[in-house]
Chains A and B, each alone.
Chain A
């Protein structure tokens, strides 16, 4: 199956600093990538949809100036958490979507990035 990678797998940063998380589709081109956040023992919540070459679409309640998303190529999307605070500590998971067989889109998830803000 298709492979999606994330880097770093975990990061610890100080409050007030910014952190960039990369999401790459390794063996396919993804016109759309999604960013999710998962708090401990909770479900995944969609944060934003990232389309190559255009601005990201953010879900209600997600601050676009705080969570900067860039989708510069068909294989790379980045999420930058700016001026991070402890409440931003979470597990961030990306997914990449492409058109599979029979015109059905397939979505594959990255392994996630654990962010801890101290």
Chain B
């Protein structure tokens, strides 16, 4: 079974400050890891994903995340927050492999608030 823990249901940062959203996972096999953003009443937009290879993954809108196997973490960061980054962020995990019908397991989400 897989699970995802996002520390902090709400994170507030000042505009221009560093954004750090935490995600820890548990998986019995090497996972695929994802970060999604959701704006109110909208679907999910993929920010970035880790499958294999380089552990530092760069995504859209200046976000990046680093896969740390030893810490079972996949924290999301952005050097300088913009007002437009205010949204709900979800970390998700899935098991790799073909044919399998695994959907994604999501964390509970972190609401990012940007202070002017």
Residues of A within 8 A of B (CB): 1, 4, 6, 32, 34, 36, 42-46, 49, 51, 57, 91, 93, 95, 99, 103-105, 107-112, 114
Contact = CB atoms under 8 A, between A and B. Distances in A.
Given A45-B106, A112-B43, 16 more contacts: A6-B43, A34-B103, A36-B103, A43-B106, A43-B108, A43-B109, A46-B105, A91-B41, A93-B43, A103-B98, A104-B96, A109-B36, A109-B43, A110-B43, A112-B41, A114-B41
B82 to A, nearest CB: 22
Given A93-B43, A109-B44, A112-B41, A46 B103 contact: yes
Interface of B: 32, 36, 41-46, 51, 90, 94, 96, 98, 101-109
A93 B44 CA distance: 9
The A interface, classified by DSSP as helix, strand, loop or mixed, is strand
Q: Which of A99, A103, A109 has the most CB of B within 10 A?
A: A109
B42 A111 contact: yes
A103 B103 CA distance: 17
A39 B46 CA distance: 20
Nearest to B6: A43
B104 A107 contact: yes
6 contacts: A45-B106, A46-B103, A91-B41, A95-B103, A105-B98, A109-B45
B101 A32 contact: yes
